[in-house]
Amino acid sequence: MARARSRRRPGRAPAAAGPPRRPRPAPPRPAGWWARHWKAVLAGGVALAAVAAAVAVAVVLDQPPRPDAGALRQAIQDGRSGQEVTFAATLVSEPIDDGGHERMLVRDQLGDVVELDYNVVLGHVVPVHRGDAVVVHGQLYIDPGQAGVHCLHARTSTGCPQPGWIEAGGTRYS
């Protein structure tokens, strides 16, 4: 039978007797993906929330104004020329071509009759006739004896700070 070999390396002195050695602490274990990347995840979450908030604000602000006949009536009664108004109405007469402008008389839901002054040089002729329903967004003006709305275009003059439009038959003209 063969002799068993010693497992000690040759040339090493046997361990000295004395106090026992403390074992070395184990190297730190990886704490996981979350622990290594929490800052990046947090920054990404904040950025995503900011983008979502910006989109929500844009959607809310980009909504077209809703028709409000009460606001139109109040602006007329208060004589607030220059007030932005949006209202639904019905044409009470055929449009009249007046040298580059199309003038239409409309009656809103509360019975107020208002003249629409639509510049056909800046926009296409609105194909409407007496009895047709329209939704209007523009700037109120008050002439003696007649209230009207102008600035009914996306491209307007310097006197019209906000673009306006006329919606008829599901199409918006501006």
Token pair in block for residue 37: 């990347």
DSSP H or E run through 92: none
| Mean predicted lDDT score pLDDT of the chain | 83
pLDDT at 69: 87
pLDDT tens, position by position, 153-170: 877 666 677 788 999 999
27-37 b/e (C-beta count within 10 Å ≥ 16 → b): eeeeeeeeeee
The alpha-helical segments, DSSP class H, found in the chain are 33-61, 69-78
pLDDT at 57: 78
Length of the chain: 174
pLDDT < 50: residue spans in the chain: none
Cβ(98)–Cβ(124) below 8 Å = no
The burial class, CB within 10 Å (0-12 / 13-18 / 19+), for 101 is: middle
